[in-house]
Structures are given as C-alpha cells and as structure tokens.
Amino acid sequence: MSHTLRSQRLGALFAAGWLLLNFPLLGLWDSDRTVFGVPLFPLALFVLWGAGIATVAWWMESRAAPDAPASPLADQALAARD
C-alpha cells in the first residue's frame, strides 16, 4: 500500500472515530439496555474503540507489495533459492 493511501485511510479513520465517539452519535447508545448484563453505553464504547484499533493494526501491518519478504531471513531464503 502506498504511503499516501495509508495516510488518507488513517485520516479517514481518525475522522470517523471523532464522529462516532463524539456526543451526538455517542448519545444514541445512552440507554438502560444491557447486553449479557453489560450496560449498552460502555459496551458500545469498547467495541467502537476496539474496532478502530484493530483497523489501524490491520492497515499498518499490511505489506507494501504482495511479494515483499516478511523478514530479512525470508529475504535470505529467497536469495539462496535462486
């Protein structure tokens, strides 16, 4: 993934997180309901926060090219095979 595309995605994720974790939309989760005994508001906060972190980790760990070696040892193994 190119550096500019990654930066644009992270910027969009920041904007989405800002909107989702800000008052008007966050107020939608403020009710007396529970899910498996957990109040809906803290559960929604945790799920949205965790989804944002998982998305950032997925984007940051993706390789730049599909055939790029994962480590220097893999690079040496490829060179020895040729």
Mean pLDDT for each consecutive 10-residue tract of the chain (82 residues)? 81 88 83 88 90 88 58 64 63
Question: What is the three-class DSSP state of 34?
Answer: strand
Residue 79 has what pLDDT?
Answer: 67
Helix, strand, coil distribution of the chain in percent, nearest 5:
70, 5, 25
The domain in which residue 27 lies consists of 3-81
Residue 23 has what pLDDT?
Answer: 85
The DSSP symbol for 27 reads G
> Could you tell me the pTM of the whole model?
0.62
Per the structure, the count of domains in the chain is 1
